[in-house]
Amino acid sequence: MKSLVLAVVSLLAIYSVNCEVYFEEKFPDDSWESNWVYSEHPGKEFGKFKLTAGSFYNDPEEDKGLKTSEDARFYALSRKFKPFSNDGKPLVIQFSVKHEQEIDCGGGYIKVFDCKLDQKDMHGESPYEIMFGPDICGPGTKKVHVIFSYKGKNHLIKKDIRCKDDIYTHLYTLIVKPDNTYEVLIDNEKVESGDLEADWDFLPPKKIKDPEAKKPEDWDDKPTIPDPEDKKPEDWDKPEHIPDPDAAKPEDWDDEMDGEWEPPMIDNPEYKGVWAPKQIDNPAYKGPWVHPEIDNPEYTPDASLYKRKELCAVGLDLWQVKSGTIFDNFLFTDDVEAAKERGEALKKTLEGEKKMKNQQDELEREKEKAEKPEDDDDEDLDDEAGDAAPVEDHDEL
């Protein structure tokens, strides 16, 4: 038993040594201004970020992050780090987003680039390796983007992942594994998972319809047919409209001036519609014809869909109508468990924010309540003055 425990401890020690944090950013102070680079790409009106914990928080220092500060602006800010590859290892991309402004339309996602990124010219068309995070615009768009670049093209996940749209901090985590599987977590809870090949269109389909196959000419795929024995009744055909039998020619109608009078038409109560024979089961029915498939000659499996040869920079490249989003707690690592542990710790931030916001809301309600009686007293005094008897003018007596 003792040897087993030692073996487990040894394995854990080896695992912890081999695990690596590639990039981490918690914005502890103003040093971010020397590490992050604003884009100067022409033709865009860029907004500025500011370091703040926002108007409600759990810890005024620990919860500081970069906040969008100007409405109706593009934002383009990036930071480079030591290049790395996730070849043969998991890749965890994690960061927090807080839409304190009750966002109506704007991005909350990040982009991860290789080393070719020109930071001072970063813009919406700059090639990236991964785009991940929430995007909100009106009631119709509230999704988590998961986009990978593959052979020079960007591929969006086929599944619809709904993001959080409230005003509190939420942690977004993307885990990509060497077996070509993935997980998306929000606040450390799995919201989606699957297979990279199945949930993206990186590769052509494994099977295609056989171009040589054609439906046989005698293939009958009609489940029912008109009953050949069914005959239309002799009294079926009636006109759809008939002259109104109750209509009378107006007394002032002049045939020479107004033309020959004709009664208005009304729906015929005896009209039965267009006759059609009843349907019966088709004795020659063979079912729907299924086009046979063959192996797609253009399909080649790729066991390295997960792999990013080089990751070197992270960028905030987005548009916001209403500013007020705070980005924080960036973590890129191959240690899935360590990322989850940090996610659990961050739940305290969410609890603290809600507690502080509830206190602020309660104080605001008390303030409104305290101010309201004074207004009511003034109104009561006005009413009393209005109801008082008029004062006599003795000068007129």
Kindly report, residue by residue over 331-358, the tens digit of the pLDDT.
999 999 999 999 999 999 999 999 999 9
pLDDT score for 377: 53
pLDDT digits (tens, 9 = 90+) for 154-210: 999 999 999 999 999 999 999 999 999 999 999 999 999 999 999 999 999 999 999
Distance (Å, rounded) from C-alpha 53 to C-alpha 65?
6
State residue 373's pLDDT score: 66
**pLDDT, average across residues 35-48:** 95
- pLDDT tens figures, 199-213: 999 999 999 999 999
Annotated binding site: 109, 111, 128, 135, 317
pLDDT at 396 over 50: no
Binned at pLDDT 50, 70 and 90, residue 8 comes out as very low
CB within 8 Å of 109: residues ≥ 6 apart: 131, 132, 133, 134, 135, 145, 318
What digits encode the pLDDT tens for the residues 106-129? Answer: 999 999 999 999 999 999 999 999
pLDDT-derived band at 382 (thresholds 50, 70, 90) equals low
pLDDT of residue 393: 47
Question: In this structure, are residues 70 and 324 in contact, taking their beta carbons and an 8 Å threshold?
Answer: no
Sequence ranges of the domains in the chain: 16-206+304-357
Q: What is the mean pLDDT of residues 7-15?
A: 43
Over residues 371-387, mean pLDDT? 58
User: Is pLDDT larger for residue 313 or for residue 261?
Assistant: 313
> Measured between alpha carbons, how far apart are the two ends of the chain, in Å?
117
Percent of the chain surpassing pLDDT 70: 89
**pLDDT surpasses 90 at 379:** no
Query: Residue 327: in which H helix or E strand, if any?
Result: strand 325-333
Q: What share of the chain is helix, strand, coil (3-state, %, to 5)?
A: 20, 30, 45
Burial of 144 (0-12, 13-18, 19+ CB in 10 A): buried
CA nearest neighbour of 219 among 309, 132, 289 = 289
**348: Cα separation from own chain's centroid:** 26
Q: Per-residue pLDDT for 2 more than 80?
A: no
Share of the chain above pLDDT 90, in %: 83
Judged against a pLDDT cut of 60, whether residue 18 lies above it is answered with yes
Q: Which parts are annotated binding residues for an alpha-D-glucoside? A: 109, 111, 128, 135, 317
Instruction: Please choose, from the candidates 337, 305, 342, 359, the residue with its C-alpha nearest in 3D space to the C-alpha of residue 148.
Output: 305
The pLDDT of residue 258 is 86
**Nearest C-alpha neighbor of 94 from the set 346, 348, 349:** 346
- Structure confidence by residue, pLDDT tens digits, 248-286: 999 898 888 889 999 999 999 999 999 999 999 999 999
Cα separation, 14 vs 116, in Å, equals: 34
Closest by CA position to 183, among listed 144, 213, 221: 144
pLDDT band (50, 70, 90) for residue 19: confident
pLDDT, tens digit, 9 for 90 and up, residues 81-92 = 999 999 999 999
> What pLDDT, on the 0 to 100 scale, is given for residue 255?
86
pTM attached to this predicted model: 0.77
Q: What is the mean pLDDT of the chain?
A: 90
Provide the CATH number for the domain formed by 16-206+304-357 in this structure: 2.60.120.200
Tell me whether residue 88 is exposed, middle or buried, using C-beta atoms within 10 angstroms of its C-beta: 0 to 12, 13 to 18, 19 or more.
exposed
Contacts of 318 (CB under 8 A, 6+ apart): 74, 75, 106, 107, 108, 109
Q: Which of 252, 245, 250, 287 is nearest to 267 (CA)?
A: 245
Cα maximum dimension of the chain: 121
Burial class (CB in 10 A: 0-12, 13-18, 19+), 183: middle
Q: Are 171 and 92 in contact (CB under 8 A)?
A: no
